[in-house]
A and B are shown apart, each in its own frame.
Chain A
Amino acid sequence: MSRVEAMARFHTPNIPVSQPDAVAMTDVSYFTPLRYATLVHLCEIMMPAGDDYPSASKAGTPEFLDFYLGASPDDHQALYNNGLDQLNADSMKQFNIPFAKADAKQADAVIRPHLKGWMNDHPPREGQVRFINLAHRDIRTATINSPAWAIAAEAVGERTPGVGLYWHPIDPGIQTWVNRGMAQATPTTKQKHS
């Protein structure tokens, strides 16, 4: 058998791998300290720990959102920056306390007026109402889809959550467009909400 034929018959050894979240943390680098403190508190208020499941903070959601928003288009960044600022300003105005230090009742007073149900691709359009409801959706999603949540599910004997059919890149020919592509995308539409 030639070396090439032998190589072709070689099967991948089974080496279990872990996700980085199991051993490492994300550095917080996008939000200002005040905004980040506001976000951390918002995460804790919106998604506290359940009997068997971790809170948003324990699931690393604030760090994840800091990373995610830092890489997001300008309009999504502005939504969060303005929304967190407004949350803090509302708390200061009503209680003279930063939102990050507001107790549950005070936090509720500045959050609840903005809660609104929505569906499909149509979150509310109005400024702070939009932020609160989209941030709520993002916090829930980032938490429920976190490695910590999956570990908790396993611990209580639940099925692995969020299993879906993942498509790998399909024979992409990446060189083609990386090297030759001069094309530019049209600007991000304001109507994309994730």
Chain B
Amino acid sequence: MGEPRDGSGHTHHEAEALLRHFASQKESRESMAQKKVDVLIIGSGHTGGLAAKILTEKGISCTMLDAGPMLNFEKYRELKPVHELPYRGFDAPGRLPHVFQSSEFNANQWVDEKVVPYYHPPEQPYNWVRVRSVGGRSPFWGRQSFRHSDYEFKSKDHDGFGENWPISYKDLEPYYSPVEALFRVTGHTDGLSQYPDGNFIEDKSPWSDAMQRFVDSGKKLGVPVTKPRSSLGKDGMAASINLFLPDAVATGKLTTIPNAIVRQVTMDKKTGLADGVIFIDRHSHREMVLKARVVIVAAGTLETTRLLMASEICNSSGALGHYLTDQIYGAGIICSVPEARDGKAAHGLMGGGALIPRFRNLETKTNGFLRGYAVNVSCNNGPFDARALPFYGKELEQKLQSYNGSGFSTNIMGETLGHYENHVSLNKQVVDAWGMPTLNIYTKYTDNETNMAKDYIDTMAAMAEAAGFDILIKNYEFNPPGYSIHEQGTARMSDDPKKGVVNKWNQSYDMKNLFITDASVFVSAGWQNPTITMCALTMRASEYLAEEMRKGNV
């Protein structure tokens, strides 16, 4: 007969050994849970990625979480003819009703709102366009690369609306240049105060003749027409995953964890500081705790705001979630250059693009709206857009043949105003697929945007007419809020803790070891694509953070 056994069938010695084993496992778990990472970065898009690069290169260990999977371009993408797709290019009916940018080719790259829903009142549409994968939206951005100017940073001084930023152009100027070097920005030096020049790969290409006519007609009306400014990136990509993260990986100090959905930033009740996060594994729903000395929230404006609201932190000012703003897109004109029709375009007549930087409300006031708009101009020597021609059947085919290579079009990028009433709130009744409360989004445009669009169309039409183009379409209607994918403002920066969520270093007023680097910190939208300014702010904030950590202040 052997040793006596306990109720589980174990002998005394076996039970002792098991107890020792469990005790050691518990100790191990505790020591793991007690391990603190230096800097925890939530989100791996442009700003999360750049923060990781700068901090790791300064010797600071970073752990970066992303809610989505790692991308594998070889596995997930392939060239396909549209006739092989199940819906002939239309995509599954009703699949992504708020993502006008979606097509059957790219539908799988966007967040499905059945998985992470949000609400807007039916009469206040909002297009929340999201990507969840490592790199965030950075592999998919439009790459237009502009600096803000003091017309944006000191906008209240110019027209009295809203607030100034707590920084000026001079504060950010030293950071724009290295950011532009990383992105490899091409552009032309123009010397316009509202359109600060940068560290460009100089664009010395000549205008096509049709573009030159448009440039000349702009001069007569005081409208500057300049070369576009755009990031060339590397190897066909200008994303965090190829421009920033490889440098961070090379330091050996970056830990990247995909599929980690952060549901809460946790707080040390003794100090009131952030002390880590709770995240959920996307596949298994396993909940995990991660402790950190510093937290950087870089999840994108509205996801950052949702997380801070769900964590019930960083809102002593009451500004969190308010002042949501972006830019109007979608209004435009389509023209045909008569000399280019019927295959008669002379060499050099057509082609190229242009950018009209803001020109309204600079030195003079325009009636009907505050701020201003920029314009993307395209002189197209390819096929003409059939939708612009009110014909059908063989007559349409003849027109398409005739108009081929004669297209000239413009599209607006107009600043919208960040009213307090344009806000988001947390909806605890509707949760996403991982149990997180969702967002209600309440925002709408006003006469300011409508009047701005009217001025834009009328001005572009006058310029096109003066250039001798035939105007076929004048579309005054713009897309719903959110469409530009430039949402910003819901955790704005301020010199006054009562008016803003973060200070001028992107540092939370309520938790000095929590930084926000995405566009939620923007105070006013500007007409510019926000990426370059987001990254300049991130570089500045990261250098400040590293120094504060070195001094032991954070």
Contact = CB atoms under 8 A, between A and B. Distances in A.
Interface of A: 19, 45-48, 50, 64, 68, 71-73, 76, 111, 115-123, 133, 136-138, 140-142, 145-147, 149-150, 160-173, 175-177, 180-189, 191-192, 194
Interface of B: 68-71, 75-85, 87-94, 97-98, 100, 103-109, 112-120, 122, 125, 127, 133, 259, 282-283, 285, 330-332, 334, 385-394, 397, 409, 411, 430-434, 438, 472-473, 475, 477, 479-480
A164 B113 contact: no
B114 A73 contact: no
Contacts of A73: 93-94, 97
Contacts of A175: 283
A141 B90 contact: yes
Contacts of B394: 48, 50
A183 B393 contact: no
A119 B473 contact: yes
A192 B332 contact: no
A147 B86 CA distance: 11
A168 B108 contact: yes
B54 to A, nearest CB: 28
Contact of A183 (B80, B105, B115): B115
A105 B125 CA distance: 42
A150 B79 CA distance: 15
B104 to A, nearest CB: 8
Interface of A is mostly: loop
B285 A183 contact: no
Contacts of B332: 119-120
Given A142-B88, A176-B283, A183-B430, A170 B133 contact: yes
Contact of B117 (A64, A147, A163, A186): A186
B125 A189 contact: yes
8 contacts: A46-B393, A64-B88, A76-B93, A142-B88, A163-B80, A166-B77, A183-B114, A184-B114
A84 B93 CA distance: 20
Contact of B479 (A72, A76, A121, A187): A121
B81 A162 contact: yes
B89 A120 contact: no
- The listed residue with most B CB atoms (<10 A of its CB), out of A119, A165, A172, is A119
A145 B114 contact: no
Contacts of B282: 173, 176
Nearest to A136: B392
Report which residue of A76, A161, A183, A192 has the largest number of chain B beta carbons within 10 angstroms of its beta carbon: A183
A186 B96 CA distance: 11
Given A50-B397, A119-B385, A181-B115, A161 B82 contact: yes
Contact of A115 (B109, B122, B392): B392
Contact of A162 (B82, B93, B386): B82
A77 to B, nearest CB: 9
A168 B77 contact: yes
Given A119-B473, A168-B75, A176-B434, 19 more contacts: A73-B94, A76-B93, A76-B94, A117-B472, A119-B409, A121-B100, A142-B90, A145-B89, A161-B81, A164-B103, A167-B77, A167-B107, A167-B108, A169-B108, A171-B76, A175-B283, A186-B118, A189-B98, A191-B125
Contacts of B83: 19, 145-147, 149-150, 161-162
Nearest to A64: B88
A149 to B, nearest CB: 7
A131 B507 CA distance: 52
Nearest to A148: B83
